Structure 1
Amino acid sequence: MASETHGKFGRIGIWSGALHRSRVDDARWEAIAEAVAELEELGYGTVWLGGSPSPDDAAALVEATRTVTVATGILSIWEHSAEEVTARIAALDAGARGRFELGLGVSHDALAPRYAKPYSAMVAYLDSLDAAAPPVDRGRRVLAALGPKMLQLATDRALGAHPYLVTTEHTAEAREALGPGALLAPELSVVLDTDLDRARTTARNMLAMYLRLPNYTNNLLRLGFTERDFEDGGSVRLLDALFALGDAERVRARTREYFDAGADHIALQVLTAEEGGAGLPRAEWRELAEVFADLLR
């Protein structure tokens, strides 16, 4: 059960890697800001800024909104120093600062040239956040935790965990590891398409990159999948465990499975056949808002 501390996230959020100010021109940014304003109006509790955002990307999104919680999902500790992050957060006005949550992750060996001893590096990074003036305290940060050690760290040194690309079984295990008080906010990728063959193709197009990253595949192996499940873009068994495929009611049912497994909040990433997760699927966000109306603000 989500505590009052977790209430700022709401029950349902939207995760998107297409919301970066630093990667677009002014016209595209206007479209992004308009789309995020609509997410706020629709009542989603949190907008998760995916795709390795920078502190400036996060600040721009906070400054473009009025009430919604903005969280990074996930800022890489290798790309931005703790000093850079704390300075940018401190520069936000007090009201905006209170709506921001810092999601942190250790990324992947293949993506971060300085990647080494990720657990120790995260501990040191959190130490730097604690020592900053003003500090980014544990109640304003979440960790991209998959394995036992990082989940324990998310309990001890952060508000909780924001796992990406996980099953309901992982959610149940994470809840047990975190204990009842920590936030558990998994991402769940969604394809709103009742043609399941086509929906699985869309899902495989997104999944292909992640199946090349050992942090994810090792986690899936721990959950009982095999190397054969990773072949040809992912087995049906794997896809059906990781994604919500079908109509909005099916997405609602899948989300309920994650809540039943112990999640406090679900961050929905909508994938489309045309753009994968790189677009602004506003029609799909509206459709989901209708089916989740009782869980939105």
Structure 2
Amino acid sequence: MNLNGVGIWSSPLRYGDPGEAADAASELDDLGFTALWIPDVGGPVLQSVENLLGATKRAVIATGILNMWMHEPHDVADAYARLTAEHGPRFLLGLGISHAPLIDAKEAGRYQKPLATTKAFLDGLDDAERPVPNDGRVLAALGPKMLTLSAERSRGAHPYLVTPEHTAIARTALGADALLAPEQTAILTTDRDEARSIGAPWLQGYLAMPNYANNLRRLGFSEDDLQSVSGRLFDAIIAWGDESAVLARIDEHRAAGADHVCVQVLQADQRAMPREQWRRIAEALR
């Protein structure tokens, strides 16, 4: 499983038209991106994984993340065993505990004890008839306890909505051997106003989630930064500019200890696949 280099994190690959997603995934594979990451906020995520595995030959297909509240461990383990048997060791099971506002919206009070719930889900994967091996899974981890658990019971961590400073903190917490694969958001425009018009509303939605807000507070951002989506916060989270700006941020993560960086490209229509921007980044990486 090649998890060096740069990957693509994409919601349209998950929730867009499956045929277009397969075609785009095939091109991304040919462009040299080493992993394609997709989210899970409901629906048959493992079906999307299968679609992308079938469309690619080399790229790892990773969930970034599979929502533990929405699946049963034994079902996930069965699907993992089947998909890896059919497609080889190219499915990386990224697991995450999600956020209280999302989970409690459907069932008030359900979101409790995130660390214990994560451990229990991992126990379920281990106890399945065909277990998911540690090196086939990673955890969405931001804080110190979840980062420690990532190193102990998985291949490593997939932090989302983070800065290179967090990557350095995560590397220290994980140790030298665990995989560290942060997500990095990017907007390919040199116009600050355009970048903010695309990125600020997107960022505000995430800042409403306590896990992300608390992590940014730990990194030194103030309440005013969070409430206003300050320029300081915006620039720290989103790499905007031309291709060189994106590559420079990738290099910052690598220098801080990342093994693999997955780039999420935003554009005005966030439901569309940014295929032109993906091609530009691939060309710059070459």
TM-score bin, normalised by smaller chain: over 0.9
Q: Matches of 1:239 and 1:179 in 2, distance apart?
A: 29
Q: Matches of 1:257 and 1:148 in 2, distance apart?
A: 21
Indicate yes or no: 2:196 matched with 1:200: yes
Indicate yes or no: 2:82 matched with 1:88: no
SS of match in other structure, 2:70: coil
Match of 2:264 in 1: 269
Match of 2:11 in 1: 17
Match of 2:37 in 1: 48
Please state how far the C-alpha of 1:105 moved relative to its aligned partner. Answer: 0.3
Q: How many residues align?
A: 279
Indicate yes or no: 2:36 matched with 1:8: no
Q: Matches of 1:180 and 1:52 in 2, distance apart?
A: 31
Q: Matches of 1:283 and 1:33 in 2, distance apart?
A: 16
Q: Matches of 1:262 and 1:100 in 2, distance apart?
A: 23
SS of match in other structure, 1:92: helix
Q: Matches of 1:162 and 1:48 in 2, distance apart?
A: 10
Checking the alignment, whether the CA contact within 8 Å between 2:22 and 2:51 is kept in structure 1 is no
Equivalent in 15, 30, 42 of residue 19 of structure 2: 30
Match of 1:252 in 2: 247
Please state how far the C-alpha of 1:59 moved relative to its aligned partner. Answer: 2.1
Query: How does the TM-score come out when normalised to structure 1?
Result: 0.91
Q: Matches of 1:112 and 1:57 in 2, distance apart?
A: 22
2:188 partner amino acid: L
Checking the alignment, whether the CA contact within 8 Å between 2:21 and 2:52 is kept in structure 1 is no
CA deviation string 1:265-290 (max 9, x = no partner):
100000002x13x3210000000001
Equivalent in 281, 286, 289 of residue 279 of structure 2: 286
Checking the alignment, whether the CA contact within 8 Å between 2:183 and 2:264 is kept in structure 1 is yes
1:260 partner amino acid: A
**What do you get for the CA RMSD once the two structures are aligned?**
1.4
1:161 partner amino acid: A
Checking the alignment, whether the CA contact within 8 Å between 1:14 and 1:267 is kept in structure 2 is yes
Match of 2:107 in 1: none
CA deviation string 1:161-214 (max 9, x = no partner):
000000111110000000000000000000000112211221112101101101
Match of 1:4 in 2: none
Please state how far the C-alpha of 1:41 moved relative to its aligned partner. Answer: 0.5
Match of 2:227 in 1: 231
Match of 2:97 in 1: 106
Matches within 5 A, 1:107-146: 107-113=98-104, 114-146=110-142
Please state how far the C-alpha of 1:95 moved relative to its aligned partner. Answer: 4.9
Checking the alignment, whether the CA contact within 8 Å between 1:16 and 1:48 is kept in structure 2 is yes
Match of 1:243 in 2: 238
Match of 1:162 in 2: 158
Please state how far the C-alpha of 1:101 moved relative to its aligned partner. Answer: 0.4
2:23 partner amino acid: E
Structure 1 residues without counterparts, runs of 5 or longer? 1-6
Checking the alignment, whether the CA contact within 8 Å between 2:10 and 2:264 is kept in structure 1 is yes
Checking the alignment, whether the CA contact within 8 Å between 1:10 and 1:44 is kept in structure 2 is no
Match of 1:58 in 2: 49
Checking the alignment, whether the CA contact within 8 Å between 1:152 and 1:178 is kept in structure 2 is yes
Checking the alignment, whether the CA contact within 8 Å between 1:11 and 1:45 is kept in structure 2 is yes
Checking the alignment, whether the CA contact within 8 Å between 1:51 and 1:73 is kept in structure 2 is yes
Query: How does the TM-score come out when normalised to structure 2?
Result: 0.94
Structure 2 residues without counterparts, runs of 5 or longer? 105-109
Percent identical pairs in the alignment equals 47
CA deviation string 1:251-273 (max 9, x = no partner):
11111111111111100000002
Please state how far the C-alpha of 1:81 moved relative to its aligned partner. Answer: 0.9
SS of match in other structure, 1:136: coil
Please state how far the C-alpha of 1:236 moved relative to its aligned partner. Answer: 0.3
